[in-house]
Amino acid sequence: MTTHAPRPQGSSTHVEDALSPRRVLSSETVYTGRIWNVRSDAFELSEGAGTLHRDYIDHPGAVAILPMDGEGRVLLLRQYRHPVGMDLWEIPAGLLDVEGESNLDAAARELAEEADLAAEHWYVLADFFNSPGSSSEAIRIYLARGLREIPHHERHERTDEESEIEFIWVDLDEAVRAVLGGRLHNPSAVVGVLAADAARRDGFTSLRPGDSPWPAHPGQR
């Protein structure tokens, strides 16, 4: 006999995260680092429910870009990541750490600096929190199309880990297989590849414009 799990009360076909009215009682920076800080907050889940304390990484947020050429191939770059001790295949990405720079301008800058590319068409693939239980980091992934190479004399000089970057153009289907086969681990690459695979089913017509607002970003509310 086939059984079905009961449908939860209040279930709906519309699913959307929402800002919470939890009251923050105190907030202070307890560690200042080279790139991000650690904050310690005290807050209430509900009035009279007691105070909770959480330490978390106070992160400026980041953007990532999935470049796609006219043949449907996506650009991946390999970069050493010391905390995990691995060379990871990723997509161009960078911090939102330039004051006054828009999210889209930051994405265009990172695409130029890390991949020597400029794009004519920009779309939002996905927004996500990298580790919402321990960090405020919000990441927006863009799909970049209509690509052109930046002339050699205008290219950014890459240093440190970026100086070892390697590039490869991969068919999107192969990139999907690499994700599902456990061969790709970078979160922006995983989310971007799977989002692009889903978006191409309707010819990418459901994607948001590149300059869409980002109300979920903690620093842009």
Q: What is the pLDDT of residue 159?
A: 76
Structure tokens belonging to residue 199: 């978006």
- Residues identified as active-site: 162
Residue of 71, 89, 60, 85 whose CA lies nearest to 190? 89
- 123 with 212, same domain: the answer is yes
Do 136 and 36 share a structural domain? no
3 state DSSP class of 167: strand
SS3 category, 178: helix
Neighbour order of strands in the sheet with 23-32: 23-32, 37-44, 51-58
The reply to whether 35 and 104 lie within a common domain is no
Q: Could you tell me if residue 16 is inside a domain? A: no
Name the residue range of residue 30's domain: 23-58
CATH of the domain at 196: 3.90.79.10
Instruction: Please tell me whether residues 50 and 82 are part of one structural domain.
Output: no
Report which of 97, 96, 93, 91 is spatially closest to residue 78, judged by C-alpha positions. 91
Residues 88-99: pLDDT tens digits? 999 999 999 999
Which tokens is 117 given? 């590319």
The pLDDT, as a whole number, for residue 65 is: 98
Q: Pairing mode, if any, of strands 62-67 and 138-149?
A: parallel
Q: 31 forms bridges with which residues in the sheet?
A: 38
Please check whether residues 108 and 82 belong to one and the same domain: yes
How confident is the model at residue 8, as a pLDDT?
Answer: 56
Let me know whether 122 and 42 are in one domain: no
Supply the mean pLDDT for the chain: 92
Reduced DSSP (H G I as helix, E B as strand, rest coil) percent helix, strand, coil of the chain, to 5:
25, 40, 40
Within this chain, do residues 49 and 100 fall inside the same structural domain, yes or no? Answer: no
In-domain check, residue 69:
yes
The residue to which tokens 């192969």 are assigned: 174
Q: Does a structural domain hold residue 100?
A: yes
Question: Do 77 and 105 reside in the same domain of the chain?
Answer: yes
Number of domains in the chain: 2
Measured CA distances, 8 to 4, 12, 13, 69 (Å) = 12, 9, 12, 43
What does the pLDDT average to over 160-171? 86
Beta pairing, strands 73-81 & 23-32: unpaired
Rounded mean pLDDT, 167-179: 98
pLDDT score of 32 more than 70: yes
Mean pLDDT, rounded, for 46-71 = 93
Q: Which residue has the higher pLDDT, 69 or 35?
A: 69
Interatomic CA distance for residues 28 and 42, integer angstroms: 9
pLDDT score for 152? 79
Range list of H helices, the chain: 103-115, 172-180, 187-199
DSSP classification of residue 45: S
178 lies in the same domain as 190:
yes
Is 107 in the same domain as 205?
A: yes
Phi, then psi, of 200 in degrees rounded to 5: -75, -10
Confidence of residue 47 (pLDDT cuts 50, 70, 90): confident
User: pLDDT tens digits, residue range 110-147?
Assistant: 999 999 999 999 999 999 999 999 999 999 999 999 99
Q: Judge if 130 and 176 occupy the same domain.
A: yes
